[in-house]
Amino acid sequence: MKHTFWTLTGILIFIAVIFFLLIPVSRVLLGSFQIEEKGAWTLQNYKTFAIYRTYWISLSNSINVSMVSSFLTIIFAVPLAFFVSRFNIPGKSYIIALSTIPLMLPSFIAAFVWVRLLGRSGIFTGFIQSLGIPFESIYGLGGVTAIFTMQFYPYVFLMTLSAFNTVDESIEEAGRSLGTGPVKTFIKVSMPLVLPSILSGALLVFMTATENFGVPMIIGEQKPFLAVQAYMEFTSEIGDHPGMSYALSVVLILVTMTSLMAQRYYLRKRNFIQSARGRPLIKELKGWSRRIATGYCFGLVLIPLIPFFVVLLISFMEMRGPVIHPNFSLQNYIYAFSNSARPIFNSYFLASMATLASIFIGVPTGYIITRRGAAIGACLDLAIMLPFTIAGTVLGIALIVMFNTGFMVIAGTWMILALSYTIRKMPFIARSSSSILYQLDPSLEEASISLGVTPMKTFFKITIRLMTAGIIAGAILTWVTTISELSSTIVLQTPGWSTMTVEMFQGIISDDMGMATSFASILIVSALIPLLIVMTRFKDEKSVLL
Amino acid sequence: MAGISIRDITKRFGKLAAVNQVNLEIEKGEFFTLLGPSGCGKTTLLRCVAGFLNPEKGQIYFGDHRVDGIPTHKRGVGMVFQNYAVFPHLSVRDNVSYGLKARKIGASEQKDRTRNALSMVRLEGLEDRLPNQLSGGQLQRVAIARALVIEPKVLLMDEPLSNLDAKLRIEMRGEIRDLQQKMGITTIYVTHDQEEALSISDRIAVMEQGVVRQVAQPWVIYTKPGDVFVARFIGSTNILQAEVVESTANAVVVRSGSVTIGLPSDNEFRLKRGDSLQVALRPESLFFSDSNKTLSKDYWPLNGKIARYEYLGNLAKYEITLSEDLKILVTDYNINPTQIRKTGEAVTLYYPLAQALIFQEDLLK
């Protein structure tokens, strides 16, 4: 029996990956060894990198801030996961639901609001200083780290939580019965079992933080960061050969790629598949200890949501430039809509196109990875890891290089934005599809085939049908994260195709508070409604969240 | 309906030959079982017949029709899976009529055949249920009805009962056998459960490491196992490594350590003094008797001590020490509750010479 249909599909996807991702990124790589278009090969850009302190500092800032953020997320989120998993904390499902929100909303909105609250002239800054606390403002490396921690802790929390939930009770009991106390058992038995999940979560934090553009741009102040620097060099040198920007991009890719490799190497022999027969026992806390644990959990989950709540609130206030007047007003929305509702449409349209494309490519990719195994599956699995390691700004730059000239000129059209979103989000759909498929017994498909239905028809009649709920949930979440995308949008933005995130970003940079808050609110609502649908309607499809 | 001919089939996974040059002729209407321990290649062979796997070598025929190379969906096989594989999103009725729809069979005929199939497996009245409202046994009935309703040329069953509890398993295997007899459909049944295989099959192929060790009727497999592996795998057996002491037309006597063992003289081996061989003795062919009572020369006596015993209600199992380094198992079906034998008791055992089986294999291989 020849699997012509799937072989062909696999090859097509692979060609797409090569054409839309590998070649553009390779051109950035090659370009980093030139100082002018079609110039001679040289290490000049890297020499410049080595000579100028700014570049070095941007590298160390990016790495340090990302590492400290990952570390802090572990410090805060692991106890949270442990409490939710093992103690009788009330409202657990709310904690889990609320914790997913920061992942869905743009981090630069948080940065922008924290500046309003704790910036040099922030609402609370003076108050804190009057208490005698030596606090200047949230600007700088500490602020960036704090916001990354608040924004990305759910990666560690959700992964660790599911790991804690699957540590078989009997394994811990076995530890206890062999004579170790509860604390020692936890450290010696449970911890090693959940450590891979904690580190996987921390790696996601590291990579997302490293590639983040908006937060350091807004509150990093004069502190250089790689992702920002690559963008700056690119926009300031356009027309010429942006070799320096390429070199920075390559460095950025090296950082993320190295961390991914390190994690894969570590996890290679530590895949502890747990088959939890009994869920772990919930320990009943009483009195103050329960109150403290509950307070910790809700505090941790709610504090990162403050900025989004604040934005919704102040978007209904009167504003003149950066100054807020505490009167209720719809002026910001009227202004935003009368100016143009186009960015809203653009965001929706681009996200929808990218989501459709991601499903169209990602679902078959997930299928090939899970079901077709062997060589092509492994190749595709590796290929879809790549977008994770390529920062949004770098991808934007690479796509412009590739599609600015040549036989497919789509730079400057909406298509390049949709393409970039598809490249960035397709792996998530592929991932979630393959994890749904892992749980789907292959003999269902074989049964259908044995009853006389072709493999291709079986895919549509049985496989897709059984995956639908998961795919829809995944698609909604993809859509939500796509309308929040900034880092590649900012590079690829084209006249007439400005998105909500771009408008917001411009508003923030140019101190147009009305513009920024109204679009931020629309975006938050646009994200929360679908998120709510997923949480209520697709409760069983939690696997798609990560 | 057709017989199945498997000719010289080899299927490799990497370097390992999961199925190695297997030849089997399965007759029309026969209930044929592939039996073996896990990893012996029985499921691989079944999946080659189904078309889910492509053998590297060999041919498969359904009747005169060569089917290897034909994709599964065109082979006309009915398949029943270990985990039922009942489509969870379809009702019982839609599950059963799934294959009929694929064959573009008219609505009224579809309805009739579905109803017949469901009544055959005694599921009338459950047509509109969804699979998650059914028990394990009912799910397996749906799977069987679904496989039979398309009137397949052959029926393939991959450990269909292994997910059911012990009592239901025994009930269902009777039903499967009855259905197969009624429809007269050529069936290949895969199992690792020897009792199931013995009870259900017309013939059994015992497999090990990708190779068929013996093909025969159940009683032949049990009483005349083809080799030591089959003897060990089917039921329990005492295998004694021994050396020939005496071999004449009237008597064959061998020695295992310090124990002397008699063998039937009408065996097909040409045994010489000093030859090494294996003797297989079923635990139930040994029985206790008084040492001073002499039986006919068709029986051979063994003296020993009871090392361990297990009382199991309808039978008792003993481990008997014959010499320092030789213990054998004995199953006693005629237990006298007033006379339970105790550990350490000296006993004399007899076995019919004809039931001592001889093998000459290089066991170190």
Which CATH number fits the domain that encloses residue A412?
1.10.3720.10
Average pLDDT, chain A: 85
In a domain, A36, yes or no: no
pLDDT for position B321:
93
Which two structure tokens, joined as six digits, stand for B41? Answer: 């290649």
Which two structure tokens, joined as six digits, stand for A358? Answer: 């991601």
Q: Which pLDDT band holds residue A189 (cuts at 50, 70, 90)? A: confident
pLDDT for position A123:
76
Q: How far apart are CA A8 and CA A439, in angstroms?
A: 25
Domain count, chain A: 2
Report the complex ipTM: 0.81
| Mean pLDDT calculated for residue range A30-34 | 87
A82-91, A95-104, B335-344: range with lowest mean pLDDT: B335-344
State which residue of chain A sits closest to B100, comparing Cα positions.
Answer: A451
Interface of B with A (CB under 8 A): 50-52, 54, 69, 71-79, 81-83, 85-89, 98-99, 102-103, 143, 146-147, 150, 156
Domain final residue pick, A253, A281, A314:
A314
Range of the domain at A231: 53-314
pLDDT of A69 higher than 80 = yes
In a domain, A116, yes or no: yes
Residue with tokens 């295989």: B197
> Nearest 5°: CA angle at B220, between B214 and B223?
110
| Mean pLDDT calculated for residue range A258-278 | 70
Q: Which pLDDT band holds residue A546 (cuts at 50, 70, 90)? A: very low
Q: How far apart are CA A362 and CA A482, in angstroms?
A: 15
Q: CB-CB: which of B69, B72, B87 is closest to A450?
A: B72
Q: How far is CA A159 from CA A202, A301, A474, B330, in A?
A: 9, 15, 17, 56
pLDDT in tens, B200-231: 999 999 999 999 999 999 999 999 998 999 99
Q: Which pLDDT band holds residue A279 (cuts at 50, 70, 90)? A: low
Q: How far apart are CA B171 and CA B124, in angstroms?
A: 19
In a domain, A37, yes or no: no
CB atoms within 10 A of CB B227: 17
| Mean pLDDT calculated for residue range A527-545 | 73
| Whether residues A286 and A359 fall in one domain | no
pLDDT of A230 higher than 50 = yes
pLDDT for position B55:
93
Instruction: Express the helix, strand and coil content of chain B in percent, nearest 5 each.
Output: 25, 35, 40
Cβ-count burial of A287 within 10 angstroms (0-12 exposed, 13-18 middle, 19+ buried)?
Answer: exposed
A14-28, A316-330, A463-477: range with lowest mean pLDDT: A316-330
Q: Which pLDDT band holds residue A184 (cuts at 50, 70, 90)? A: confident
Residue with the bigger pLDDT between A74 and A125: it is: A74
| Whether residues A229 and A133 fall in one domain | yes
| Whether residues A184 and A253 fall in one domain | yes
pLDDT of A210 higher than 90 = yes
Domain final residue pick, A279, A314, A349:
A314
pLDDT of B173 higher than 70 = yes
- Contact between A452 and B103 using a beta-carbon 8 Å cutoff: yes
Q: How far apart are CA A480 and CA A478, in angstroms?
A: 5
The reply to whether the predicted model has a pTM over 0.80 is no
A152-161, A310-319, B124-133, B187-196: range with lowest mean pLDDT: A310-319
Residue with tokens 């055949």: B113
| Whether residues A3 and A57 fall in one domain | no
A61-70, A328-337, A419-428, B83-92: range with lowest mean pLDDT: A328-337
| Whether residues A151 and A26 fall in one domain | no
In a domain, A41, yes or no: no
Domains of chain B with CATH codes: 4-233 (3.40.50.300), 238-289+298-359 (2.40.50.140)
pLDDT for position A329:
80
Which two structure tokens, joined as six digits, stand for A116? Answer: 């309003």
Q: Which pLDDT band holds residue A373 (cuts at 50, 70, 90)? A: low
| Whether residues A133 and A274 fall in one domain | yes
How far does the CA of residue A33 sit from the closest CA of chain B (Å)? 43
φ/ψ of A508, rounded to 5, equals -65, -45
| Whether residues A160 and A301 fall in one domain | yes
Residues of chain B in contact with residue A1, where contact means CB-CB under 8 angstroms, are 51-52, 54, 69, 71-72
Q: Which residues contact A236 (CB under 8 A, 6 or more apart)?
A: none
Chain A from 461 to 500: CB within 8 A of any B CB = 462, 465-466
Q: How far apart are CA A42 and CA A32, in angstroms?
A: 9
| Whether residues A361 and A429 fall in one domain | yes
Closest CA to B44 of B66, B70, B14, B73: B14
How far does the CA of residue A457 sit from the closest CA of chain B (Å)? 10
Q: Which pLDDT band holds residue B20 (cuts at 50, 70, 90)? A: very high
Residues of chain B in contact with residue A455, where contact means CB-CB under 8 angstroms, are 71, 73
pLDDT for position A1:
41
A39-43, A388-392, B199-203: range with lowest mean pLDDT: A39-43
Q: CB-CB: which of B87, B102, B150 is closest to A444?
A: B87
How far does the CA of residue A428 sit from the closest CA of chain B (Å)? 26
Closest CA to B26 of B162, B153, B149, B119: B153
pLDDT for position A46:
87
Q: Which pLDDT band holds residue A274 (cuts at 50, 70, 90)? A: low
pLDDT for position A325:
76
SS3 label, residue B301:
strand
Chain A from 75 to 104: CB within 8 A of any B CB = none
pLDDT of B365 higher than 50 = no
| Whether residues A129 and A217 fall in one domain | yes
| Whether residues A352 and A247 fall in one domain | no
State which residue of chain A sits closest to B53, comparing Cα positions.
Answer: A1
Q: CB-CB: which of A449, A462, A466 is closest to B73?
A: A449
Work out the angle between the directed axes of helices A4-17 and A342-367 (0-180°, nearest 10). Answer: 130
SS3 label, residue A164:
helix
Q: Which residues contact A157 (CB under 8 A, 6 or more apart)?
A: A73, A77, A80, A81, A99, A201
pLDDT of A278 higher than 60 = no
Q: Which pLDDT band holds residue B139 (cuts at 50, 70, 90)? A: very high
Closest CA to A245 of A63, A405, A55, A403: A55
In a domain, A323, yes or no: no
| Whether residues A202 and A95 fall in one domain | yes
In a domain, A47, yes or no: no
Q: Which residues contact B7 (CB under 8 A, 6 or more apart)?
A: B23, B58, B59, B60, B61
State which residue of chain B sits closest to A446, comparing Cα positions.
Answer: B52
In a domain, A22, yes or no: yes
| Whether residues A267 and A372 fall in one domain | no
| Mean pLDDT calculated for residue range B146-157 | 92
pLDDT of B290 higher than 90 = no
